[in-house]
Amino acid sequence: MSEPSPLGTVGRYQIVRELGRGGMAIVYLARDPELRRQVAIKVIAGTGLSNDYFRNAFKREAAAIGSLEHPYILPVYDVGEHQGQLYLVMRYVEGGRTLKEALANGPLPPDEVGRVLEQVGHALGHAHAQGLIHRDVKPHNVLIDP
């Protein structure tokens, strides 16, 4: 049996450390003690959480995203609510960085720009073919695999 995390838990997931934050959510590295793997958990900020419509819409959208299977879309493993906080559990990419982080060091080489844009295009095309629209495509939301 694994030890409890000193940083706390979200659902069954033991928080290891914060990976990043935005206006709507905080993303944590966590450990799934049942499946013995690391995961990324996006915990949604408190605005609107008391609203049943918002919570139900979040869960429906998470289920739709979870149904997507594509090499350039992170799989969703779980969704839930813990102590009034909505969360989404996704694959953790060791060494991954966002496009925003990559651009902080200056422009990317043209061949890497082409590769990233091609992969983002394929992922968005796949989601669109399933009737889903991303609505928040920006460098902060594009993960570059090492």
CATH number of the domain to which 73 belongs: 3.30.200.20
Smallest CA-to-CA distance from 30 within 107, 102, 88, 101 is with 88
What was the pLDDT predicted at 4?
55
Degrees, nearest 5: CA angle 81-84-88: 30
What was the pLDDT predicted at 23?
77
pTM equals 0.83
What was the pLDDT predicted at 83?
85
Smallest CA-to-CA distance from 143 within 80, 71, 78 is with 71
Catalytic residue annotation: 136
> Is 106 found in the same domain as 71?
no
Last residue of a domain, one of 92, 120, 138: 92
> Is 57 found in the same domain as 126?
no
> Is 75 found in the same domain as 113?
no
> Is 120 found in the same domain as 77?
no
What total of structural domains would you count in the chain?
A: 2
> Is 128 found in the same domain as 62?
no
> Is 18 found in the same domain as 57?
yes
- CA 138 remoteness from chain centre: 14
- Which residues 6+ apart lie within 8 Å of 22 measured at CB? 140
The yes-or-no verdict on residue 78 having pLDDT over 90 is yes
What was the pLDDT predicted at 5?
59
Coil, strand or helix at 9: strand
Residue 7: pLDDT band (50, 70, 90) is confident
What was the pLDDT predicted at 1?
44
Coil, strand or helix at 128: helix
- Range with lowest mean pLDDT among 21-30, 50-59, 82-91, 103-112: 50-59
Q: Where are the beta strands (DSSP E) in 11-118?
A: 13-21, 25-32, 37-44, 76-82, 85-91, 97-98
> Is 74 found in the same domain as 102?
no
> What range defines the domain where residue 142 resides?
94-146
Alpha-carbon gap, residue 98 to 121, rounded angstroms: 16
